[in-house]
Each structure stands twice: as C-alpha cells, then as structure tokens.
Amino acid sequence: MNVGTRDKPSYLPMEVCRVRMGQPAKAKLSGAQTTEMLNFAALRPHQNAELITGQGIDNLNLGGGNPTLARFMLALANKEMITVPGRILNGPDVFYKQKKIAKTAFGSWNMRDIQ
C-alpha cells in the first residue's frame, strides 16, 4: 500500500496497515455508502449535538484516560456544549439599476417581471 504520494511513494505491506473507523477515504463511494453519508449529513442540530457529546468524545478519547492529554495536564471539564448568544440579521434590500426591487427572505428573492 502506498502511504506516500505519487511523486514520493512510500510502500507498506497491507498486513501492517489498519484503517480506523471513521477515517476519510478518497475512493468513490458505493451507492449505499453515499446514501448513508447523506443521511448522516442531514441530521438535525440536536442529533448532531448528541453525537458530539456522546460518541464523538468517546471516538476522540477525550472522556478520560488519554495519556497525551494527561501529559499536558489537560482534561475535558464538561461534556456539555456551550450556548452562545446570537441574533437574526435582517436581509439586505436588492437593487437592480439603482431601483429597489425586492426584500430578501430566507436568503433568496424574486426577480420575476424585472427587466
């Protein structure tokens, strides 16, 4: 297996290679894999938060017992996500030839009947 680049190949026998679950792949996905990826990408925000605070912490070995973090005297203080204040900005007005034509709504506007 080439673990280097095309210009500078570095070959290893397949027996010593391990692909960890969740690692990115540059190969073309099968139909089932594409469907699974799209379903995962379309999760609701609360589902993403649950995956990050549960499975994500475990996958990254941040829950405790990580020797690298311990060496730097770092620890995960809290498994909860932080809440930050936010606000909804008003959309800009759309002008065409110095004339206001429409208000934006949810990132779009209608230019029907505009000449």
Residue 90: the pLDDT is 83
Amino acid at 66: N
Residue 50: the pLDDT is 92
Structural domain count of the chain = 1
For 94: left if phi > 0, alpha if psi spans -120 to 50, otherwise beta; the answer is beta
Residue 85: the pLDDT is 95
**21 lies in a domain?**
no
- What is the mean pLDDT of each successive set of 10 residues along the chain, which is 115 residues long? 90 86 81 93 94 87 83 86 90 80 78 74
Question: Domain range holding 85?
Answer: 28-103
**22 lies in a domain?**
no
Element (H, E) at 50: helix 45-51
Residue 23: the pLDDT is 79
Residue 25: the pLDDT is 74
Which of 114, 87, 78, 79 minimizes the C-alpha distance to 99? Answer: 114
**97 lies in a domain?**
yes
How far is Cα 29 from Cα 18, in angstroms, rounded to an integer?
19
Residue 114: the pLDDT is 72
